[in-house]
Structure 1
Amino acid sequence: MNSRHSNFSFCSFTSLFFRYGYILVASLLVLLPLQLADYQQIFVAEIFIWGLFALSFSLVYGYGGMLSFAQAVFFGFGCWGFNVGTFYFDFSIWGSLVCAFLAATVFAVPIGFFATRVRQHHFLIVTVIVSVLVVMILASGHYRWIAGPYVTRSLPSAPEIPFGFFSLSYANELVAYYFTATMVSLGVFLAYRLISSPFGKSLLALKDNAMRAQLVGLNVNFLRWMMFVAAAGIAGYSGALYALLARYTNLEFFHWTYSGKAVIWSVIGGVQSIFGPFLGTAFYMITNEYLSRYFEQFIVLFGVLMLIILRFAPDGIWGIATRFFRLRG
């Protein structure tokens, strides 16, 4: 009787969450900045952007089964594409965001074609090599004939967001927050549609048992390739949003260590969920912001935390929260 009541309560909670949860999240996003100082609004907007970047890794690893350290490369190409659209083509913000997405996906097509032909740790090695090669080429000083002067170029001032007959200034922290939250929500929606589509279901089947997926007629290499490219597009999109918010781009964004940050954030939050990477990113950035003042070797504490999570809660904070509500139900 208790078990039946518990299952009913949890199912009711889950149903209500997915029915009304998006309303609660949207309400929180709207009301939160009204309680924050200007600098805190920008800080939360940064969490949204880096959370979207971490989500791009979760798509590749949590749903595609590919441990990629190349996400930072596509984040960097997103920054580059945004700069090309802004300074070379003189596009508005909307056109530059499209340029960033296209730049990341175009570069991901050949990289993913070769990387997805190998398996397991070989895939990891290939993505690390790609990241190192890209950084070495761009850092050599001979990259201008490849990428032009747009790798490290930044916006000189806060841009205007055109909306037909009127525009809003990004110099207003509240405008920057709401625009970032809206654009990140769009990226999350696209990711959700991707993984809930037949394509996403096929990828999960492939991750669970690649041999069985091949036997039922799924094209393993093509599915992995397409997920790699789609995740790269989201990483590039997040890079453009960061270049817009921070008005800063740098060669360091291409480095594989930024991919490592995405791995940490995703593992802490939960790699097989949409919201897990955002929870992990928020947890890391908030605790780093405050605890690093008191602990000089703060990153060591996070290394220990990573080991604990991998051992006792491999599904991350999101998984812990899910089990908590199941028990409470």
Structure 2
Amino acid sequence: MNAHANAIFTALLAAALFGAATPLAKTLLGSISPFMVAGLFYLGSGIGLAAVIVARRLKRSDARDSSDSRIQRGEIPWLAGAIVAGGVAGPALLMLGLSTTPAATSALLLNLEGVFTALIAWVVFRENVALQVFLGMVTIVAGGVVLSWQPGASGVPLGAWLIAAACVCWAVDNNLTRKVSTNDAMVIACLKGLVAGPVNLAIALLLGGHFPGAAKIAAAMLTGFGGYGVSLVLFVVALRNLGTARTGAYFSVAPLFGVALSFVIWPEMPSALFWVAATLMALGVWLHIRERHEHAHTHEPLEHTHRHRHDEHHQHDHDFSWDGREPHTHSHRHEPVTHVHPHFPDIHHRHRH
């Protein structure tokens, strides 16, 4: 599997885990407050990933990977903003929206996260956009509009607005996380969980909530570890290799997994509008998958740290004793080079067009 195909698979796997978490979250609502569910999800994510990080550090004999992958001081504001937007505001809004919105509808509305992510990437961070990618986003938006519309209703339901607002928060989170995506993805996801979990739990308790029984706590934390923790690790890796807008687009398939699981949990016949929306959203994702971006481009001098192999973009010497192990992590410098090959706006291709 080539690097681009591997990156796409990583994004899709992240989407599958996150999409499955949505209907599972709805099964917990009712007996547990929305903020409590969000808090337990993120706490399970943070604690689970922390355990994996500790085990990984104990297993490694070379300390270079851990020392060279520390988050730099200048990157902390980006990470802090991502945690507040995506780890506190986003989950709370989602849980509030889920409490009044059907599971299948909620799952498909989450496609809007990819749209908002791309818009911010294009408008604010100047990531390149192709016509095909733009058309894909248009069809996803159209699907969201169809899904939210209810005949005879005076407007879009409040629950749908809350879920859409959660998508905006996660879109901000995605774009800010891209700024720190060269760092250890597991550390980034772990920090988000360890901060967002207690904050959401504190809000739940202040609003009069209470902890559920041990079985529900364990179920929520386990769901959070997979749907929010492992999923976020894979998402950050995809951000590093695909860019923000493209990763958001592939992540838009998450609702399809959520829909499939919600129909298993709550068997029902979906409406015609549901299938129209699903078709439009599937078409949008397909347009993104078909994109091919290739042109002559120049890499400017760049020095950074991330996990890498010695591919065409990493032809450098080492100032330390290297045993030939790959991939590995260390600070390295990219010399200027001009060439042509298919690429995405990853951490090595953020050039102007």
Normalising by structure 1, we get a TM-score of 0.29
Q: Report which of the two has the higher share of strand.
A: 2
Structure that is richer in helix per residue? 1
